[in-house]
A and B are shown apart, each in its own frame.
Chain A
Amino acid sequence: MYCRNCGKELPDDARFCTGCGCSLDAVPDRPWSARYDSGRGAGRPPSYLALAIVVTILCCVPFGIVGIVYSSKVESCLGTGDLDGAWEYSRKARNWSVAGLVLSVLFWIVYVVLIIIGFACTPWWGGEAFYARCMF
Protein backbone atom coordinates (compact mmCIF):
# COMPACT_ATOMS: atom_id res chain seq x y z
CA MET A 1 0.00 0.00 0.00
CA TYR A 2 0.94 3.64 -0.31
CA CYS A 3 0.68 6.47 2.18
CA ARG A 4 -2.36 8.64 1.34
CA ASN A 5 -0.63 11.73 2.59
CA CYS A 6 2.83 11.59 0.98
CA GLY A 7 2.65 8.60 -1.40
CA LYS A 8 5.49 6.59 0.14
CA GLU A 9 5.35 2.82 -0.44
CA LEU A 10 4.66 1.00 2.85
CA PRO A 11 4.05 -2.56 4.08
CA ASP A 12 0.37 -3.53 3.93
CA ASP A 13 -0.05 -3.74 7.70
CA ALA A 14 1.56 -0.38 8.44
CA ARG A 15 -0.40 1.89 10.80
CA PHE A 16 1.85 4.91 10.50
CA CYS A 17 3.76 6.21 7.50
CA THR A 18 7.51 6.00 7.97
CA GLY A 19 7.93 8.89 5.52
CA CYS A 20 5.69 11.60 6.97
CA GLY A 21 4.49 10.16 10.27
CA CYS A 22 0.84 10.38 9.22
CA SER A 23 -1.56 7.95 10.89
CA LEU A 24 -2.93 5.65 8.19
CA ASP A 25 -6.19 4.84 10.02
CA ALA A 26 -7.08 8.43 10.71
CA VAL A 27 -6.81 9.80 7.16
CA PRO A 28 -10.31 9.69 5.68
CA ASP A 29 -10.57 7.99 2.33
CA ARG A 30 -11.44 10.98 0.19
CA PRO A 31 -10.84 10.83 -3.56
CA TRP A 32 -8.51 13.58 -4.71
CA SER A 33 -11.12 14.83 -7.17
CA ALA A 34 -13.66 15.60 -4.41
CA ARG A 35 -12.52 19.20 -3.99
CA TYR A 36 -12.95 19.78 -7.74
CA ASP A 37 -16.44 18.31 -7.62
CA SER A 38 -17.38 20.90 -5.02
CA GLY A 39 -16.11 23.64 -7.35
CA ARG A 40 -13.14 24.36 -5.17
CA GLY A 41 -9.67 24.39 -6.71
CA ALA A 42 -6.30 24.60 -5.05
CA GLY A 43 -4.63 27.82 -3.98
CA ARG A 44 -6.01 31.37 -4.22
CA PRO A 45 -9.34 31.71 -6.02
CA PRO A 46 -9.64 34.28 -8.84
CA SER A 47 -11.66 37.39 -7.98
CA TYR A 48 -13.20 37.86 -11.47
CA LEU A 49 -12.86 41.62 -11.05
CA ALA A 50 -12.11 42.28 -14.72
CA LEU A 51 -15.17 40.34 -15.85
CA ALA A 52 -17.38 42.17 -13.34
CA ILE A 53 -16.14 45.59 -14.52
CA VAL A 54 -16.73 44.69 -18.16
CA VAL A 55 -20.26 43.53 -17.35
CA THR A 56 -20.94 46.72 -15.34
CA ILE A 57 -19.73 49.18 -17.96
CA LEU A 58 -20.62 47.42 -21.18
CA CYS A 59 -23.81 45.57 -20.55
CA CYS A 60 -25.66 44.65 -17.46
CA VAL A 61 -25.18 47.08 -14.58
CA PRO A 62 -26.96 45.41 -11.62
CA PHE A 63 -25.35 42.00 -12.20
CA GLY A 64 -21.93 43.58 -12.68
CA ILE A 65 -22.18 45.53 -9.42
CA VAL A 66 -23.11 42.37 -7.50
CA GLY A 67 -20.09 40.74 -9.15
CA ILE A 68 -17.79 43.55 -7.96
CA VAL A 69 -19.14 43.25 -4.40
CA TYR A 70 -18.45 39.50 -4.36
CA SER A 71 -14.98 40.09 -5.86
CA SER A 72 -14.16 42.31 -2.90
CA LYS A 73 -15.44 39.64 -0.50
CA VAL A 74 -13.09 37.10 -2.12
CA GLU A 75 -10.16 39.32 -1.25
CA SER A 76 -11.49 40.10 2.24
CA CYS A 77 -11.74 36.35 2.97
CA LEU A 78 -8.22 35.80 1.64
CA GLY A 79 -7.05 38.58 3.95
CA THR A 80 -8.41 36.73 6.98
CA GLY A 81 -7.15 33.36 5.70
CA ASP A 82 -10.63 31.93 5.07
CA LEU A 83 -9.85 29.98 1.90
CA ASP A 84 -13.19 28.12 1.79
CA GLY A 85 -15.14 31.38 2.08
CA ALA A 86 -12.96 32.94 -0.61
CA TRP A 87 -13.73 30.10 -3.01
CA GLU A 88 -17.44 30.39 -2.26
CA TYR A 89 -17.45 34.15 -3.01
CA SER A 90 -15.26 33.60 -6.07
CA ARG A 91 -17.88 31.20 -7.43
CA LYS A 92 -20.65 33.73 -6.71
CA ALA A 93 -18.71 36.56 -8.35
CA ARG A 94 -18.21 34.42 -11.45
CA ASN A 95 -21.84 33.30 -11.58
CA TRP A 96 -23.29 36.83 -11.29
CA SER A 97 -20.91 38.27 -13.89
CA VAL A 98 -21.46 35.38 -16.31
CA ALA A 99 -25.24 35.68 -15.80
CA GLY A 100 -25.03 39.38 -16.71
CA LEU A 101 -22.94 38.55 -19.76
CA VAL A 102 -25.30 35.80 -20.93
CA LEU A 103 -28.34 38.09 -20.45
CA SER A 104 -26.70 40.81 -22.54
CA VAL A 105 -25.71 38.38 -25.29
CA LEU A 106 -29.29 37.03 -25.37
CA PHE A 107 -30.61 40.61 -25.52
CA TRP A 108 -28.30 41.32 -28.47
CA ILE A 109 -29.28 38.14 -30.30
CA VAL A 110 -32.98 38.93 -29.93
CA TYR A 111 -32.32 42.52 -31.03
CA VAL A 112 -30.39 41.46 -34.14
CA VAL A 113 -33.03 38.85 -35.03
CA LEU A 114 -35.75 41.52 -34.76
CA ILE A 115 -33.77 43.82 -37.07
CA ILE A 116 -33.32 41.02 -39.62
CA ILE A 117 -37.05 40.27 -39.49
CA GLY A 118 -37.64 43.96 -40.04
CA PHE A 119 -35.38 43.92 -43.10
CA ALA A 120 -37.11 40.83 -44.46
CA CYS A 121 -40.46 42.64 -44.26
CA THR A 122 -39.39 45.93 -45.87
CA PRO A 123 -39.75 44.86 -49.56
CA TRP A 124 -43.53 44.76 -49.00
CA TRP A 125 -43.58 48.51 -48.82
CA GLY A 126 -40.41 49.21 -50.82
CA GLY A 127 -38.37 50.62 -47.97
CA GLU A 128 -35.19 48.60 -48.40
CA ALA A 129 -33.27 51.30 -50.25
CA PHE A 130 -34.18 53.77 -47.53
CA TYR A 131 -32.96 51.41 -44.81
CA ALA A 132 -29.72 50.68 -46.66
CA ARG A 133 -29.06 54.43 -46.86
CA CYS A 134 -29.67 54.80 -43.13
CA MET A 135 -27.29 52.05 -42.28
CA PHE A 136 -24.20 52.96 -44.32
Chain B
Amino acid sequence: MVVIIVAALSVAGAAILVYGRLDPSSSAYFPKCPFYFLTGLKCPGCGSQRAMHELLHFDVIEAVQYNAVLVAAIPFLTLLVLSMAMRGRFPRFHSMLNSAPVIWAVLGIVVLWWIIRNVAGI
Protein backbone atom coordinates (compact mmCIF):
# COMPACT_ATOMS: atom_id res chain seq x y z
CA MET B 1 0.00 0.00 0.00
CA VAL B 2 2.80 2.41 0.97
CA VAL B 3 4.64 1.49 -2.23
CA ILE B 4 1.56 2.28 -4.31
CA ILE B 5 1.09 5.66 -2.59
CA VAL B 6 4.76 6.63 -3.01
CA ALA B 7 4.69 5.56 -6.68
CA ALA B 8 1.46 7.48 -7.32
CA LEU B 9 2.82 10.61 -5.61
CA SER B 10 6.08 10.54 -7.57
CA VAL B 11 4.23 10.02 -10.87
CA ALA B 12 1.91 12.90 -9.96
CA GLY B 13 4.88 15.11 -9.07
CA ALA B 14 6.65 14.33 -12.34
CA ALA B 15 3.41 14.94 -14.27
CA ILE B 16 2.88 18.33 -12.59
CA LEU B 17 6.46 19.30 -13.42
CA VAL B 18 6.24 18.22 -17.07
CA TYR B 19 2.71 19.49 -17.78
CA GLY B 20 3.26 22.75 -15.93
CA ARG B 21 6.54 23.49 -17.68
CA LEU B 22 5.72 22.37 -21.22
CA ASP B 23 2.70 23.24 -23.34
CA PRO B 24 1.37 20.12 -25.14
CA SER B 25 -0.40 22.29 -27.73
CA SER B 26 2.90 23.68 -29.04
CA SER B 27 5.52 21.09 -28.06
CA ALA B 28 6.25 18.13 -30.29
CA TYR B 29 7.14 15.86 -27.38
CA PHE B 30 3.71 14.80 -26.21
CA PRO B 31 2.08 11.64 -27.53
CA LYS B 32 -1.05 11.94 -29.62
CA CYS B 33 -4.11 9.93 -28.64
CA PRO B 34 -3.83 6.48 -30.29
CA PHE B 35 -7.60 6.41 -30.92
CA TYR B 36 -7.49 9.79 -32.67
CA PHE B 37 -4.41 8.74 -34.61
CA LEU B 38 -6.10 5.56 -35.85
CA THR B 39 -9.68 6.71 -36.46
CA GLY B 40 -9.55 10.49 -36.78
CA LEU B 41 -12.27 10.63 -34.12
CA LYS B 42 -11.82 12.11 -30.66
CA CYS B 43 -12.01 9.86 -27.61
CA PRO B 44 -13.48 11.02 -24.25
CA GLY B 45 -9.95 11.72 -23.00
CA CYS B 46 -8.68 13.73 -25.98
CA GLY B 47 -7.41 17.14 -24.95
CA SER B 48 -6.65 16.01 -21.40
CA GLN B 49 -2.96 16.84 -21.69
CA ARG B 50 -3.63 20.38 -22.95
CA ALA B 51 -6.41 20.80 -20.36
CA MET B 52 -4.01 19.71 -17.58
CA HIS B 53 -1.48 22.29 -18.75
CA GLU B 54 -4.11 25.04 -18.66
CA LEU B 55 -5.38 23.89 -15.25
CA LEU B 56 -1.84 24.03 -13.85
CA HIS B 57 -1.79 27.65 -14.98
CA PHE B 58 -5.23 28.20 -13.38
CA ASP B 59 -6.85 28.92 -16.75
CA VAL B 60 -10.10 27.00 -16.24
CA ILE B 61 -11.90 28.38 -19.31
CA GLU B 62 -9.15 27.25 -21.69
CA ALA B 63 -9.09 23.87 -19.93
CA VAL B 64 -12.86 23.44 -20.39
CA GLN B 65 -12.44 24.18 -24.10
CA TYR B 66 -9.88 21.40 -24.42
CA ASN B 67 -11.74 18.77 -22.36
CA ALA B 68 -14.82 19.75 -20.37
CA VAL B 69 -15.38 16.32 -18.87
CA LEU B 70 -11.87 16.21 -17.42
CA VAL B 71 -12.47 19.51 -15.62
CA ALA B 72 -15.88 18.34 -14.41
CA ALA B 73 -14.45 15.01 -13.24
CA ILE B 74 -11.85 16.50 -10.91
CA PRO B 75 -14.29 17.72 -8.19
CA PHE B 76 -16.25 14.45 -8.48
CA LEU B 77 -13.07 12.38 -8.17
CA THR B 78 -12.04 14.43 -5.12
CA LEU B 79 -15.40 13.62 -3.50
CA LEU B 80 -15.03 9.93 -4.41
CA VAL B 81 -11.55 9.68 -2.87
CA LEU B 82 -12.71 11.56 0.24
CA SER B 83 -15.70 9.22 0.60
CA MET B 84 -13.36 6.20 0.34
CA ALA B 85 -10.96 7.63 2.92
CA MET B 86 -13.77 8.44 5.36
CA ARG B 87 -15.91 5.39 4.64
CA GLY B 88 -15.83 4.31 8.28
CA ARG B 89 -17.12 7.65 9.56
CA PHE B 90 -19.59 8.44 6.77
CA PRO B 91 -20.77 5.11 5.30
CA ARG B 92 -23.97 6.64 3.87
CA PHE B 93 -22.01 9.27 1.95
CA HIS B 94 -19.85 6.51 0.46
CA SER B 95 -22.75 4.26 -0.54
CA MET B 96 -24.59 7.26 -2.03
CA LEU B 97 -21.63 8.22 -4.27
CA ASN B 98 -21.05 4.58 -5.23
CA SER B 99 -24.68 3.68 -5.89
CA ALA B 100 -25.66 2.04 -9.17
CA PRO B 101 -27.58 5.10 -10.54
CA VAL B 102 -24.55 7.35 -10.00
CA ILE B 103 -22.24 4.88 -11.77
CA TRP B 104 -24.68 4.47 -14.69
CA ALA B 105 -24.88 8.27 -14.91
CA VAL B 106 -21.07 8.45 -15.08
CA LEU B 107 -21.04 5.87 -17.87
CA GLY B 108 -23.83 7.72 -19.69
CA ILE B 109 -22.00 11.04 -19.45
CA VAL B 110 -18.75 9.54 -20.76
CA VAL B 111 -20.46 7.86 -23.74
CA LEU B 112 -22.62 10.92 -24.53
CA TRP B 113 -19.54 13.15 -24.31
CA TRP B 114 -17.75 10.81 -26.71
CA ILE B 115 -20.57 11.09 -29.28
CA ILE B 116 -21.36 14.78 -28.83
CA ARG B 117 -17.77 15.99 -29.10
CA ASN B 118 -17.35 14.17 -32.41
CA VAL B 119 -20.68 15.38 -33.80
CA ALA B 120 -20.32 18.96 -32.60
CA GLY B 121 -16.54 19.10 -32.99
CA ILE B 122 -15.64 20.17 -29.43
Residues of A within 8 A of B (CB): 44, 46-47, 49-50, 53-54, 56-59, 61, 65, 68-69, 71-72, 75-76, 79, 105, 107-108, 111, 115, 134-136
Contacts and interface: CB of A to CB of B under 8 A. Distances in A.
B71 to A, nearest CB: 10
Contacts, number: 73
A135 B29 CA distance: 8
Given A71-B98, A107-B31, 6 more contacts: A49-B97, A53-B76, A57-B48, A68-B103, A68-B110, A72-B100
A109 B99 CA distance: 36
Interface residues of B, number: 34
B103 A57 contact: no
B45 A59 contact: yes
Given A58-B48, A115-B29, A76 B107 contact: no
B108 to A, nearest CB: 10
B74 to A, nearest CB: 9
Nearest to A60: B45
Interface of B: 11, 21-22, 27-29, 31, 34-35, 43-45, 48, 67, 69-70, 73, 76-77, 80-81, 84, 95, 97-100, 102-104, 106-107, 110-111
